[in-house]
């Protein structure tokens, strides 16, 4: 199982990768992650790789990811080539406009980017920022997205293991908020799944 998590420095992708990797360990599997730590964390592009199983190197090759968890719209599109043909993308619709775009040096066309993602993957779009804010803080985007992946049933992990891992990796002070965010994300994709089954 290879999961690529992508976003903008400061959004909390590293914590998400830690929660997922530890959940696999709880279930008796080996996991490894590859992180972006350094200057990119100041608002640059960041990517975390989570690999459960027997891979030796930390980075998922292009065309190798089973799941793409994107914290930001454009960053999801940027890494879509990492997905396997039958892989899934869960994409936060919230966008963070880079300073280069504000300066008029590059275009950020959300509609075009969304279309590109849909055409190139099995993608689900959710407004994770909004769900996180509803749960108490925009910082909970990571647990919302993990919840969404869990609700979709694509992680190969039980809900209990993930919750246990969240408990281990998140400070007690923010725990309730994050558990709530996790359930909110999970509910969203479970409902989407129901609708699709009806169709």
Scanning residues 33 to 52, which ones bind another protein (CB under 8 A)? 33-45, 49
Distance CA 191, CA 150 (A): 12
Which residue stretch of 112-120, 170-178, 179-187 sits at the interface with another protein (rule: CB under 8 A)?
112-120
- Residues in binding contact with another protein, number by CB under 8 A: 76
104 touching another protein, by CB under 8 A: yes
Q: Which of 3, 4, 5, 8 binds another protein (CB under 8 A)?
A: 8
Q: Which of 47, 71, 100, 188 binds another protein (CB under 8 A)?
A: 100
| Strand stretches in 75-158, DSSP E | 83-92, 122-126
Work out the burial of residue 112: count CB atoms within 10 Å of its CB; fewer than 13 is exposed, 13-18 middle, 19 or more buried. Answer: exposed
Distance of closest approach, residue 5 Cβ to another protein, in angstroms: 13
156 touching another protein, by CB under 8 A: yes
111 touching another protein, by CB under 8 A: no
12 touching another protein, by CB under 8 A: no
Q: Which of 3, 4, 15, 124 binds another protein (CB under 8 A)?
A: 124
Helix (H) or strand (E) holding 67, with range, is: strand 65-70
DSSP string, 72-88: SHHHHHHTGGGEEEEEE
Which residue stretch of 93-101, 170-178, 179-187 sits at the interface with another protein (rule: CB under 8 A)?
93-101
Q: Which of 5, 12, 15, 18 binds another protein (CB under 8 A)?
A: 18
Which residue stretch of 119-127, 170-178, 179-187 sits at the interface with another protein (rule: CB under 8 A)?
119-127
59 touching another protein, by CB under 8 A: yes
| CB environment 159-168: b (16+ within 10 A), e (fewer) | eebbbbbbee
DSSP lists the bridge partners of residue 92 as 126
122 touching another protein, by CB under 8 A: yes
Distances (CA, A) of 172 to 20, 168, 177: 18, 9, 10
56 touching another protein, by CB under 8 A: yes
3-state class (DSSP) for residue 46: strand
């Amino acid at each position: 199982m290879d999961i690529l998590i992508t976003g903008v420095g400061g959004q909390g992708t590293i914590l998400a990768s830690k929660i997922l990797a530890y959940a696999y360990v709880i279930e008796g599997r080996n996991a490894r992650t590859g992180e972006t730590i350094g200057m990119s964390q100041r608002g640059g592009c960041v990517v975390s790789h989570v690999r459960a199983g027997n891979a030796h190197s930390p980075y998922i090759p292009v065309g190798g990811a089973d799941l793409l968890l994107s914290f930001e719209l454009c960053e999801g599109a940027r890494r879509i080539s990492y997905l396997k043909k039958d892989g899934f993308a869960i994409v936060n619709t919230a966008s963070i406009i880079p300073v280069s775009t504000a300066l008029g040096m590059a275009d950020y066309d959300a509609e075009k980017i969304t279309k590109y993602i849909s055409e190139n993957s099995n993608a689900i779009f959710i407004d994770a920022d909004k769900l996180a804010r509803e749960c108490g803080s925009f910082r909970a985007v990571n647990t919302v997205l993990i919840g969404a992946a869990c609700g979709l049933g694509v992680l190969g992990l039980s809900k209990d293991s993930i919750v246990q891992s969240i408990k281990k990796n998140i400070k007690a002070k923010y725990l309730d908020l994050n558990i709530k965010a996790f359930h909110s994300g999970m509910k969203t994709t479970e409902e989407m799944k129901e609708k699709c089954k009806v169709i």
